[in-house]
Amino acid sequence: MDNNKFKISAKEISKTYFGDKDSNSLEVLRGISLDMTEKEFVVILGSSGSGKSTFLKILGGVQDATSGSICLDGVDYETALPRSVLNKFGFVFQSNNLLQWKTAEGNLKFMLEIMKLKGEDWQKRVDDMLSIVGLLDYKTVYPHELSGGMKQRVAIARALVHDPEILMLDQPLGALDAITRSMLAYEILNIWKKTQKTILMVTNSVDEALLLASRVIIFSPLPAVIQREFVVDIPLEDRNPEIIKNDTFLRLKAEINEIIISNLQGV
């Protein structure tokens, strides 16, 4: 298949953590292949400890694969992306990892400093990104003065400020209370509509996956393989609080839950 048609591809990615003895080795991923087109929003689901975050970090150049290859914009980088292409990625983790001694604006500027991006246009982009996440009025506020949801919105703005091509979301809502989590899920949907970034997200929530994704990938328990893939053919205009009544949403949710419950029961 022509890799040039995909923004990023994983080909037979495997990951094993080797201990001092063979018996201490842990095989986490086994032959995972996944293609993503530009502007696509793909969500990976699976039980805790099923290798979802490991796969995301490998695909984003944070970790190396044991075997397999990663293709980015048609170029095969084998098991590890070089540092020269890492600016194409933006990361948001479950912990916001904000610098507590810097304001919301300062956290975004720090990312630009790391990327060695300077100039008036980049300064304007700081304001633009804070505006996209609804926090422009809080640009001079420090993290300890922000709610959990607001901190995570700053983290999303920081991940976007250097204009990455691919956004990696590693359980970005997992540390939030239920109400804030739901509100921020819709915020992520709106951000994707506005920015049209290619997004790969890991979550444990079926509802979040079906709200956000164009495709949902189910990982098996370790060693993880792709068990199933679901196309979420729900129009964007129907992705609102009423989605929980949508027939397609209900059907997909039932099918996905059945797989997850079977995995948890070891069936």
Per-residue pLDDT tens digits for 129-181: 999 999 999 999 999 999 999 999 999 999 999 999 999 999 999 888 888 89
Closest CA to 43 of 186, 244, 215: 215
Quote the DSSP letter at residue 126: H
- pLDDT reported for residue 175: 82
Lookup result for tokens 């999303």: 156
CB 182 within 8 A of CB 202: no
What one-letter code names the amino acid at 262?
S
Quick one: pLDDT at residue 96? 86
Average pLDDT, the chain: 93
The residue-averaged pLDDT of 247-264 equals: 94
pLDDT for residue 82: 95
Per-residue pLDDT, 225: 96
CA-nearest of 162, 170, 216 to 40 is 216
CA distance 180 to 191: 16
Report the alpha-carbon distance of residue 58 to residue 29 in Å, rounded: 11
For residue 199, give both structure tokens. 């997004």
DSSP letter at 220 equals P
DSSP 141: -
Give the mean pLDDT of 81-100. Answer: 93
Which strands, in side-by-side order, build the sheet including 41-45?
A: 89-93, 166-170, 198-202, 41-45, 215-219, 226-231
Give 47's pLDDT tier (boundaries 50, 70, 90).
confident
Report the DSSP pairing between strands 26-36 and 166-170. Answer: unpaired
Give the integer Cα–Cα distance in Å for 188 and 133: 9
Alpha carbon distance, N-terminus to C-terminus of the chain: 34
CB 80 within 8 A of CB 43: no
What is the gyration radius of the CA atoms in the chain, in angstroms? 19
Domains of the chain from N-terminus onward: 3-265 (3.40.50.300)
- SS3 of 118, please? coil
User: What pLDDT does 1 receive?
Assistant: 44
CB 138 within 8 A of CB 104: yes
Average pLDDT over residues 1-22: 83
Longest pairwise C-alpha distance within the chain: 58
CA distances from 228 to 25, 41, 80, 215, 232 (A): 26, 17, 26, 11, 13
CA distance 244 to 210: 10
In order of 8, 44, 240, 251, the CA distances from 91 in angstroms are 16, 15, 25, 31
Tell me: the pLDDT tens digits for 104-120? 999 999 999 999 988 88
Beta-bridge partner residues of 246: none
| Type of residue numbered 84 | S
